[in-house]
Chain A
């Protein structure tokens, strides 16, 4: 089942100086109970897409279903079933952690297990601390909790990793995985942190100037753009006759494409030539490289 299906979704902002097409004929399918990553330069249309999918903006044309509900006709129901963490959400500095969560729970008319949530996310000791006294990582946690306090089925996170240290990023990654695992939530993340997205997401979409350039699993995108993962083998001496299949990256170190046929042939040749493998290291194609390639190709 798909959590999001859109067809030619378009948003044009009209102003006195002219009109800007922020989202151009977006056709998208995001599977339920998965993590989807949306990447693109600033102004690519990610935030506008989030606003459209949360019914905070009306599409200029096109249609869409969010959790099976019509984007234009069933706004109220969609808003109740989705959660949204906006970029740079600062919350209310004067409220405490606990008051913030109770406030959002009350707005949605639910009795949230706030204490349990705070305990689960190591915030119990900070429950009576005002938001402005918290670290960036903790504030981010509270912001995400407030966005999903009403147990939405679909959660949108806009730049959740910005301003976080590596430890806090790790915590946030675990937190998102927990949401997916225990709450059967679908999570859509827009971020510039490609490394985190590569680790977390089941599928990735690349947007450029309002258009979706490519969307699918990371493996499918890699394959489509000719990117491969590599195995780096440290050997006791370099083999001969394998120039087409290997790259010599350092003394006694060869790099082989991580594909069964290619790897099989190299390993067989090493065996035949009596070469010993001393160490193996996996080298994945970086999402950054794929992203740059996709952007360049879309530009052409």
Chain B
């Protein structure tokens, strides 16, 4: 119960510090606005064309007219084997094979971009209204008969995920909130007490070191979740329902924040100098930020590292949730919770180190 007294004091302190609170809400809101802007601007769909390359300029022109959004469609000719390989490793979202007898499209439907590409091509080449499609094709090629064949859609679900800019920015936004904010608040919760010389007063009181670090963790989590909740409430109608209404999303943020805040508390308890602490914090969080926003798949050796270092595991968990179509991976979540508990135990034993 004593820990609750300290937690209550810390929460009161957080709520009183209005300027800091406003910044904690304002900065993610700005990032979110930037996310929507970039998402709108940067949706890029890469489609390869296999077969009759002479059709390319007409096809591009036709697609440009047909699409309604700000999507940037990139089409270029490739050999089928090369196109299939690129679709498999995620370099392109789809490829279209055009022969005099048939039009066949291979799509990675695990990606938003793949699905959008499918829709656009369906509109242009094989509209549900066959007459409209015929007219469209007639306008495109000299010999429409060569195209008036059924379109064959082949779905490639096994292909690697191609991340959209929007998904990556969502991923980095929540890594900033879950990892960077929680870690920073966890560290500060202890180092500020040390800086103000109040840590000695707390350690001299009937509170045990364990109670102190757990209360500090609670306060760091409160300060992490408060802006998050406010932001989600403020932007309910803007954020995709796919994750706002998904309990798994909150489970991930909870595990990631818990782990990061615990790591922050450990750094705060162990490190005496503020510069040393800040350096360590950046060393742990910056790679996580880059990882969350990295548009490419990681090489195997880097993937091994990201499955051990807690902040990188957190970034991977958030990233894969957004990139893999909002499906959580529970193994790494369990690892995060476990390593968070270990961090707290170490923090408790470090707190009184030659105080």
Contact = CB atoms under 8 A, between A and B. Distances in A.
Interface in B215-241: none
Contact of B201 (A80, A89, A106, A109): A89
Contacts of B197: 86-90
A76 B203 CA distance: 11
A227 interface: no
Given A89-B198, A94-B17, A103 B9 contact: yes
Contacts of B17: 94
A99 interface: yes
A95 B14 CA distance: 10
Overall SS of chain B's interface: helix
A47 to B, nearest CB: 10
B9 to A, nearest CB: 5
B196 A79 contact: no
A278 to B, nearest CB: 53
B196 A91 contact: yes
Nearest to A147: B201
A56 B206 contact: no
Nearest to A130: B16
B2 A107 contact: yes
Contact of A86 (B9, B200, B206): B200
A107 B207 contact: yes
A256 to B, nearest CB: 48
A146 B354 CA distance: 24
A7 to B, nearest CB: 23
Contacts of B195: 90
Contacts of B206: 76, 79-80, 107-109
A43 to B, nearest CB: 15
Interface residues of B, number: 23
Given A13-B354, A94-B17, A95-B13, A56 B201 contact: no
A84 interface: yes
A89 B194 CA distance: 10
Contacts of B352: 56
Contacts of B203: 56
Contacts of A80: 206
Contacts of B354: 13, 57
B6 interface: yes
B341 to A, nearest CB: 25
Contacts of B201: 84, 86, 89, 104, 146-147
Contacts of A104: 201, 205
A92 B205 contact: no
B196 A108 contact: no
A218 B12 CA distance: 47
B306 to A, nearest CB: 32
A6 B264 CA distance: 39
B3 to A, nearest CB: 10
Contacts of A89: 196-198, 201
B6 A107 contact: yes
B142 interface: no
Contacts of A87: 197
B355 interface: yes
B226 to A, nearest CB: 15
9 contacts: A84-B200, A86-B201, A88-B197, A89-B197, A91-B198, A92-B198, A94-B12, A94-B16, A99-B9
Interface of A: 13, 51, 54, 56-57, 76, 79-80, 82, 84, 86-92, 94-95, 99, 103-104, 106-109, 130, 146-147
